[in-house]
Amino acid sequence: MEPTVQVNDDFIKANTNFKELILALKSGFASEDINIPNRHHHLFPNPETGVDSTLLLMPAWHSGKEAGVKIATVSPENERFGLPSVHAIYILMNAVTGTVKATFQAKEMTAKRTAASSALASAFLSKENSTSLLMIGTGVLSTNLIRAHASVRPIDTVFVWGRNQEKAETICEALKHETFNCKAIASIDEKISEVDIISSATLSNTPLVLGKLLKEGQHIDLVGAYKQDMREADDEVIKKASVFVDSFGGRKESGDIFIPMEEGILKEKDIKGNLFSLCLKKTKGRTNDKEITLFKSVGHALEDLVAASYYYEKFTHE
């Protein structure tokens, strides 16, 4: 029996090549052999904070090869405890024997695969000559999203906004050796109308990306707002943009899609495609340089299985 290995966050941090991971995800979304049942999404009370936490169970399997499941919790008020909002573990198994091949500390893996998926979408949806990016949010995803987007587009200027200016400055300090310039800004309005790509990863309940401030040709990447009552973009954004999602199954999980659909602002037929249809070339991405495109991500179990396989190969072939 093959030994079970443990892959920690430090290994994942040190061994991520976004171009490689994006290509692996593209291959995974283009495959019709990976099975992804609906994920379990459960809210449970958190009396100490007064804000519900979320339990996610995300299984996937590639018959005859590998299977896996991620167990994750999201606790929006964890900042008061000095902890990240998301905690997760991933179990990778041999799909033939059912034996466990590896367990992963999945915080970094989740951040990396989420960022790589956004960059994969950007490769289809943003303008090829996009050089500027606005990052909204200063959580663990922010540096990953910036690096991932910069791996598929010639980004030379990055602006970072967060509710805490010091955190935004810390993000830029962490990126000071990258090929692009990074600057913390005091308000979103300062730069949102100027940049080519807007990436938002927050737990906001009210829209931060406003349609009235958008310009032609922008690409909007919405990664946060994972519950039905959360929103990062307002209705005007949805009306102006060509909307894409990571998977059609998750369109009712986030308020950015759920609320406009409930109110009749966005109909199911208005969603242009998802990562499966884009990678299988069943859907066309951006059609012209004036089009505003939007990608809404809620996370997908295929991304976890592909990422776990990617890091397992690296770990066992060091």
Is the pLDDT at 73 greater than 70, yes or no? Answer: yes
In the block, tokens 């904070």 appear at: 49
Cβ count near 303 (within 10 Å) = 30
pLDDT in tens, 192-234: 999 999 999 998 889 999 999 999 999 999 998 777 888 999 9
Residues 170 and 312 both lie in one domain: no
Q: Greater confidence, 214 or 78?
A: 214
Residues 179 and 105 both lie in one domain: no
Residues 184 and 284 both lie in one domain: yes
What backbone torsions phi and psi does residue 42 show, to the nearest 5 degrees? -125, 135
Residues 136 and 285 both lie in one domain: yes
Residues 293 and 309 both lie in one domain: no
Residues 34 and 149 both lie in one domain: no
- Domain with residue 287: its CATH number is 3.40.50.720
Over residues 274-278, the mean pLDDT reads: 95
pLDDT in tens, 20-51: 999 999 999 998 889 988 888 898 998 889 88
Q: Is 185 left (phi over 0), alpha (psi -120 to 50) or beta?
A: beta
Is the pLDDT at 94 greater than 90, yes or no? Answer: yes
Q: pTM score, two decimals?
A: 0.90
pLDDT computed for residue 175 by the predictor? 95
270: three-class secondary structure by DSSP? helix
pLDDT computed for residue 1 by the predictor? 67
How far apart CA 287 and CA 272 sit, in angstroms, is 12
pLDDT in tens, 128-181: 999 999 999 998 899 999 999 999 999 999 999 999 999 999 999 999 999 999
Amino acid 5 reads V
Is the pLDDT at 2 greater than 80, yes or no? Answer: no
Residues 43 and 80 both lie in one domain: yes
The DSSP H or E segment spanning 105 is strand 100-105
How does the average pLDDT of the chain come out, rounded?
Answer: 92
Residues 289 and 171 both lie in one domain: yes
Residues 144 and 276 both lie in one domain: yes
Residues 214 and 256 both lie in one domain: yes
209: three-class secondary structure by DSSP? strand
For residue 289, give its domain range: 111-300
Residues 283 and 154 both lie in one domain: yes
pLDDT in tens, 8-28: 999 999 999 999 999 999 999
Is the pLDDT at 238 greater than 90, yes or no? Answer: yes
198: three-class secondary structure by DSSP? strand
**Number of domains making up the chain:** 2
- Domain with residue 75: its CATH number is 3.30.1780.10
User: Is 310 within 8 Å of 317 (Cβ atoms)?
Assistant: no
Residues 98 and 131 both lie in one domain: no
